[in-house]
Chains A and B, each alone.
Chain A
């Protein structure tokens, strides 16, 4: 199988890989780099569990061919925080009961993170819109929205 070279930065770390052209960014992250926090839920961009931030924009990594990520910067959930050092947004999700089965969680946290980077004072409706590309079947979204609002209220405190 013909291979292509892909150089990319993931969570601040440079990587140089050779993969088959048909490899998706999702597969590169999971299979090659062992970053299994990004999930596959449907493979067709319909559920958002594969959401990553690429060059500052959320994308469905199941719909990005690995060579399209060449030269780009990717952030996965592993880049936001670790169990020993949680990002306050992750803490908010725990505190507010926004995590049930957890499969949608990495993708939806990244969508929320990206939303708040671009719109630091979203209305509730804007929050719902910001995560509208991430399906959740367990929570009904209620506590997820509350967690994002809770994080946002606390953010002013952090910045002081």
Chain B
């Protein structure tokens, strides 16, 4: 049976509003009589705050309110996992994004100018900007020690947590090895650059006691909970309505404006609006964790990996955010999609006075992919084995065991991705470098794996509600945040597929904490699996109810029916009854045509000492990139010529959507490889704007060919898996590996700039004289 919608190229359900400028994003809400908020941020990345005096600011005409921590002693701390962040700092700043005061004024210009009149008295403390320095017992505490996280030998105030991974016996494994390769590989702070800056609008109704806000977030219900607890409200007193979201990539997991706008709407009694500037959000909101990987890998001459040991150190910055999860996920993915019989690892999540780090596309797995793909490439070179062949030899198959000890029983397409990529690219072993018109070219390979969903026994679930309306449309209620990846379209496709109804008869209700049920976050590459499955379950249940109502109305039996184009048809006859009719009849009978689907699979909590579990992630997505670069020997500038990207997504739901993620992920990886580094020195961000933090432009775009492997039979709807984060993972390492093959120079970090390439080329040239 062929599918009507699933697997096809489907237009996005929200595209029409976006191409005409009608889609409403967080900053697009206007009303007469709004108050505008501005926040005074820290004067120093680590300082004791003696006083914050807003007296002069309060006197400015047009300033309605100016507050400091003293005015809101009743407000609690917030945070994704640990509630270690203050809405307004009470005693000390820990990074430059800490908030000291909030001003509410009649115009944005007045609010902004009022900040200049706030006087702060502070004493600088020692700034810790290096996690290795912060881990040292002698370093000053950034936070007060937490007993349960103390690890002997390390600074108890600055080590947030540690995790462990162990399977087999690495000493035995190293003894069996012919070669042992050790490397230290580092990734930097990376900024998401979601194009829409953080913004939001809130109003408080004192009669109902409900604070309503229009603000983007990747997880409606989680932010609702965090705002409510911070402001001493019940969850139902905080209503968040989801606007269109201008990109996220992990930037919108943490609280940004949410608590501040809620708070000020309550205190002023008026509608309040806050917009962060690009500079402000680059300093204040989360980053990708810089991570240090210290690897030791044992291999036999024939290329078999025997053992792998890893130490993983992540700089989580001033606050925990999701750092405890990100860094240990880097550990759990640290050997990639390769069979490793003996492994051992430890990860440390460390506080510093840098901008706090949190979720960013890949959530630790991106950094790990760069690290293990660099390590794999080094080993291949060391052994004299073709890099693609070396990966293929060690790559997962059905029955392989992940670092967490999970045996892969379904949907393992990594070898197919390698083979398909090689074929499409025209990969020729031994011919990975050449010179063309005075420029040097190189070909690089990288593969990756990614565990979809939160996994690890975390209560990961998603709910979708469906209803047949009087007009015969299907109304979908889902809280899943569409950040551009297209989940709302995927959900509609699945509903349309099950109910055999044209897509334009499927309508999405806006995401709203009060009208849509918890769908979990748009993160962890989970929505296609979780909300997709929930939608399928709901649609199947709804179909049953539709048939049931039809059988009552037509006095016929269920097996004789089928649905087609919004009607129930009695097979072999002209008898049909529309969904609209069935909906009206059902409603009259007090039994409306509605259904709810909830997908709540079980995963295992990994063992604390070893990180092992039977089923730690519900699915793994694999991806391979083969990339060709061209380097100008005069300037060191690297151009990415073409990329062949082959993800294994289990099963394609929206073909255009999967390609879009692959292409976007490839270009984001190009940025990571060649130009992106958030430079934070002594806690101060040096490149907090888009002319100094560079992302790729259209002229940097390479030729990208995406081909898709459908290994089938994964946990998601129709056997699908997610692709949002996996699309990025192999991109940067493939480029750095290609640079190696072009130049013979290995880099162990990103970004690799023209500066470094030229200096390395010249150093090597002078050595050869």
| A-to-B contact residues, CB < 8 Å | 20, 22, 30-31, 34-44, 46-47, 49, 76-78, 80-83, 86, 90, 93-97, 99-106, 109, 128-129, 131-132, 134-145
B247 at the interface (CB under 8 A from A): yes
Stretch of B135-143, B318-326, B419-427, B660-668 lying at the A interface: B660-668
Check if B689 sits within 8 Å of A128, measured CB to CB. no
Residues of B contacting A37 in the complex (Cβ-Cβ under 8 angstroms): 20-22
Check if B196 sits within 8 Å of A101, measured CB to CB. yes
Known A78-B21, A101-B246, A135-B697; contact A31-B11, beta-carbon cutoff 8 A = no
Provide the bound-state CA to CA distance between A131 and B699, in Å: 9
Provide the bound-state CA to CA distance between A109 and B20, in Å: 9
Check if B20 sits within 8 Å of A83, measured CB to CB. yes
18 additional A-B residue pairs with CB within 8 Å, beyond A90-B19, A140-B663: A22-B109, A36-B24, A37-B21, A77-B20, A81-B20, A82-B20, A82-B22, A83-B20, A99-B18, A100-B484, A101-B483, A103-B246, A105-B19, A106-B21, A109-B19, A128-B698, A136-B195, A145-B698
Residues of B contacting A106 in the complex (Cβ-Cβ under 8 angstroms): 19, 21
**Chain A residue nearest in CB terms to B486:** A100
B32 → A minimal CB distance (Å): 11
Residues of A contacting B28 in the complex (Cβ-Cβ under 8 angstroms): 30, 36
A151 → B minimal CB distance (Å): 12
Interface centre among B11, B483, B664, B698 (most CB of A within 10 A): B698
Provide the bound-state CA to CA distance between A47 and B196, in Å: 10
Interface centre among A96, A99, A135, A144 (most CB of B within 10 A): A99
B381 at the interface (CB under 8 A from A): no
Interface centre among B27, B247, B695 (most CB of A within 10 A): B247
Per-residue CB proximity of B22-51 to A under 8 Å, as 1/0? 111101101000000000000000000000
Residues of B contacting A145 in the complex (Cβ-Cβ under 8 angstroms): 698, 701
A62 → B minimal CB distance (Å): 11
Check if B21 sits within 8 Å of A138, measured CB to CB. no
B682 at the interface (CB under 8 A from A): no
Provide the bound-state CA to CA distance between A134 and B195, in Å: 10
Provide the bound-state CA to CA distance between A95 and B193, in Å: 26
B735 → A minimal CB distance (Å): 14
Check if A99 sits within 8 Å of B20, measured CB to CB. no
B649 → A minimal CB distance (Å): 16
Provide the bound-state CA to CA distance between A46 and B690, in Å: 6
Known A31-B30, A36-B28; contact A140-B667, beta-carbon cutoff 8 A = yes
Check if A97 sits within 8 Å of B697, measured CB to CB. no
Residues of B contacting A101 in the complex (Cβ-Cβ under 8 angstroms): 194-196, 244-248, 483-484
Known A38-B21, A76-B21; contact A138-B660, beta-carbon cutoff 8 A = yes
Check if A137 sits within 8 Å of B193, measured CB to CB. yes
Provide the bound-state CA to CA distance between A36 and B664, in Å: 26
Check if A139 sits within 8 Å of B664, measured CB to CB. yes
Check if B278 sits within 8 Å of A42, measured CB to CB. yes
Interface residues on B, range: 35 or more
B510 → A minimal CB distance (Å): 15
**Chain B residue nearest in CB terms to A142:** B663
Check if A86 sits within 8 Å of B16, measured CB to CB. yes
**Chain B residue nearest in CB terms to A134:** B698
B9 at the interface (CB under 8 A from A): yes
B580 at the interface (CB under 8 A from A): no
**Chain A residue nearest in CB terms to B275:** A40
Check if A41 sits within 8 Å of B659, measured CB to CB. no
B332 at the interface (CB under 8 A from A): no
Provide the bound-state CA to CA distance between A67 and B665, in Å: 41
**Chain A residue nearest in CB terms to B484:** A101
Provide the bound-state CA to CA distance between A83 and B690, in Å: 32
Check if B197 sits within 8 Å of A40, measured CB to CB. yes
Provide the bound-state CA to CA distance between A142 and B690, in Å: 21
B348 → A minimal CB distance (Å): 31
Check if B664 sits within 8 Å of A138, measured CB to CB. yes
Provide the bound-state CA to CA distance between A127 and B585, in Å: 55
Check if A97 sits within 8 Å of B698, measured CB to CB. no
Q: CB within 8 A of B698: which of A90, A105, A141?
A: A141
Q: CB within 8 A of B701: which of A43, A99, A141?
A: A141
A85 → B minimal CB distance (Å): 9
Check if A137 sits within 8 Å of B695, measured CB to CB. yes
Q: CB within 8 A of A140: which of B21, B483, B664, B690?
A: B664
Provide the bound-state CA to CA distance between A40 and B276, in Å: 11
Check if A95 sits within 8 Å of B11, measured CB to CB. yes
Residues of B contacting A35 in the complex (Cβ-Cβ under 8 angstroms): 21
